């Protein structure tokens, strides 16, 4: 749902005045987007991924994992709350007490009926433009994950993992040694 007029761009200062109502509030190109609380399967997937990534980062010290709600300020008019994000150790300086100032290295969005189009199109373009190295789109309906990796400033061909292949394993060059079988994501 968009609540701002397309002619008036809201800023981070406006964003700070949004109500704390249990919904996710984001600004994309100055437009206010509101998303209701996610379904339980969404949250189960989020916990599974966050837990596996966090455990890996704790063990390897490769960076930090955050989950929603965490504000990511890309510009004064682009403030998002990805479901999960990762920042490499050498870039921890973008983490402030209040928010993340700049593009994370990895962003994970888990689709829902109300966010599908925004996550697959609008946010993918936004993350690409701001240099997010990897963008994972998790689809709870199809039990699949699309992985986009930045190549020469653009997201290359997407890799898609599905539960149809029970040996499909989630890995990333951003986190050497990390691997997670897809059934464990959707368990």
Residue 2 has what DSSP assignment? Answer: B
Instruction: Give per-residue pLDDT as tens, 143-183.
Output: 999 999 999 999 988 899 999 988 999 999 999 999 999 99
In the prediction, which pLDDT does 4 show? 47
Please return the burial class of 21, using the count of CB atoms within 10 Å of its CB with bins 0-12, 13-18 and 19+.
Answer: exposed
Q: Are 94 and 87 in contact (CB under 8 A)?
A: yes
Fold of 39-186: tt1808, chain A (3.90.1570)
In the prediction, which pLDDT does 6 show? 55
The stretches in the chain having pLDDT less than 70 are: 1-6
């Amino acid at each position: 749902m968009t609540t701002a007029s397309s002619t008036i761009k809201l800023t981070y200062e406006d964003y700070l005045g949004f109500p704390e109502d249990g919904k996710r509030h984001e600004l994309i190109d100055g437009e206010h987007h509101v998303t209701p609380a996610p379904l339980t399967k969404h949250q189960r997937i989020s916990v599974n991924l966050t837990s596996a990534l966090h455990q890996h980062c704790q063990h390897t010290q490769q960076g930090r994992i955050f989950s929603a709600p965490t504000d990511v300020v890309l510009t004064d008019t682009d403030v998002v709350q990805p479901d999960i994000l990762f920042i490499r150790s050498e870039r921890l300086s973008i983490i402030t007490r209040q928010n993340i100032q700049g593009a994370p290295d990895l962003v994970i969005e888990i689709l829902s009926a109300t966010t599908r189009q925004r996550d697959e199109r609008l946010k993918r373009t936004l993350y690409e433009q701001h240099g997010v190295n990897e963008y994972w789109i998790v689809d709870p309906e199809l039990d699949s994950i699309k992985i986009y990796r930045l190549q020469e400033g653009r997201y290359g061909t997407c890799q898609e993992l599905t539960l149809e292949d029970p040996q499909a394993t989630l890995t990333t060059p951003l986190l050497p040694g990390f691997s997670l079988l897809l059934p464990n994501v959707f368990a």
